[in-house]
């Protein structure tokens, strides 16, 4: 009898843990996002811009800012759009996103990137970049709701 009680208690605990994990995954939702970012620099660069999150039929304005360290030369304007996943509410998009990368844009170019913040929000973005920009850097991008 003692073993069956322990077994039952362990089984109940396992089901509770699995249920909690499953319930958080079930409630995660997604939306779409459009952003415009102006980036400029000479070894240390900065970026700023704005965007819109579309979530559950509503539009939420966004502010974007960031810093780049490494080889950064030039200036560019980037327009990105894509999908946001793993969010429960609009404020989950707000946070700091980090990325490392290299690239060049002379005139026009294309850009695609996947970013994740500390809350687990995932941005899958693609779009176009215009300007003169050469970079091999580490970037930090902060997104906030306005």
Cα–Cα distance, 52 to 46 (Å, whole number):
20
- The better pLDDT of the pair 139, 36 is held by 36
Inter-residue long-range contacts of 45-50, CB under 8 Å, 24+ positions, other chains counted:
45/72, 45/135, 45/137, 47/139, 47/141, 50/146
- Contact between 145 and 94 under an 8 Å Cβ cutoff? The reply is yes
pLDDT band at 22 (very low <50, low <70, confident <90, very high): very low
- Per the listing, tokens 């073993």 go with 3
Q: What is the pLDDT of residues 88-140, one digit of tens each?
A: 999 999 999 877 666 666 777 777 788 899 999 999 988 888 888 777 766 77
- The better pLDDT of the pair 141, 89 is held by 89
- Contact between 53 and 62 under an 8 Å Cβ cutoff? The reply is yes
pLDDT given for residue 104 in this prediction: 67
- The better pLDDT of the pair 14, 33 is held by 33
Kindly state the tokens that stand for 102: 């290299």
Element counts in the chain: helices (H) and strands (E): 1, 4
- The better pLDDT of the pair 21, 44 is held by 44
Mean per-residue pLDDT of the chain: 81
């Amino acid at each position: 009898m003692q073993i069956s009680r322990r077994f039952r208690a362990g089984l109940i605990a396992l089901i509770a843990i699995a249920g909690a994990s499953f319930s958080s995954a079930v409630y995660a939702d997604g939306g779409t996002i459009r952003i415009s970012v102006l980036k400029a620099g000479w070894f240390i660069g900065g970026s700023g811009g704005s965007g819109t999150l579309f979530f559950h039929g509503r539009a939420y304005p966004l502010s974007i800012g960031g810093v780049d360290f490494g080889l950064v030369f030039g200036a560019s304007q980037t327009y990105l759009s894509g999908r946001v996943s793993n969010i429960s509410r609009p404020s989950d998009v707000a946070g700091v996103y980090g990325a490392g990368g290299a690239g060049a844009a002379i005139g026009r170019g294309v850009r695609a990137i996947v970013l994740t913040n500390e809350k687990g929000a995932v941005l899958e973005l693609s779009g176009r970049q215009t300007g003169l920009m050469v970079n091999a850097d580490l970037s930090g991008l902060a997104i906030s709701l306005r």
